[in-house]
Amino acid sequence: DQQVKQNSPSLSVQEGRISILNCDYTNSMFDYFLWYKKYPAEGPTFLISISSIKDKNEDGRFTVFLNKSAKHLSLHIVPSQPGDSAVYFCAANKLVFGAGTILRVKS
């Protein structure tokens, strides 16, 4: 039973445009969410988190939006850069990770 789902296995975006990565969850008891980025042969690195009491958190080019009623969150990267190309994982309460979305930013 996947409690955190990233339904898009991959996404391709042109440099300078917005990348939107989506994540859905089923457990309404999750109280915070995190996004991680992972390059090949490296461990994931933390990007941004959001508490369930908020609906938006912004850090530079990265913004996470949370819609609790829809049990949906999204990560916006704008403007996208080629160095953003990686696998992005959505996680809930540090314990439950999505399957990841491969982002490719084309220059």
Partner 1 sequence: GAGVSQSPSNKVTEKGKDVELRCDPISGHTALYWYRQSLGQGLEFLIYFQGNSAPDKSGLPSDRFSAERTGGSVSTLTIQRTQQEDSAVYLCASSERAGLAGGNTGELFFGEGSRLTVL
The reply to whether 78 sits near partner 1 by the rule CB under 8 A is: no
The nearer residue to partner 1, 15 or 65, going by C-beta atoms, is 65
Q: Given its phi and psi angles, is residue 5 left (phi above 0), alpha (psi -120 to 50 degrees) or beta?
A: beta
The reply to whether 95 sits near partner 1 by the rule CB under 8 A is: yes
Amino acid identity of residue 104, one-letter, is R
SS3 assignment, position 73: strand
Contact 44, 91 (CB under 8 A): no
Per CB under 8 A, which of residues 32..71 are in contact with partner 1?
32, 34, 36, 41-46, 49, 51
Q: Which residues bind partner 1 (CB under 8 A)?
A: 6, 31-32, 34, 36, 41-46, 49, 51, 89, 91, 94-100
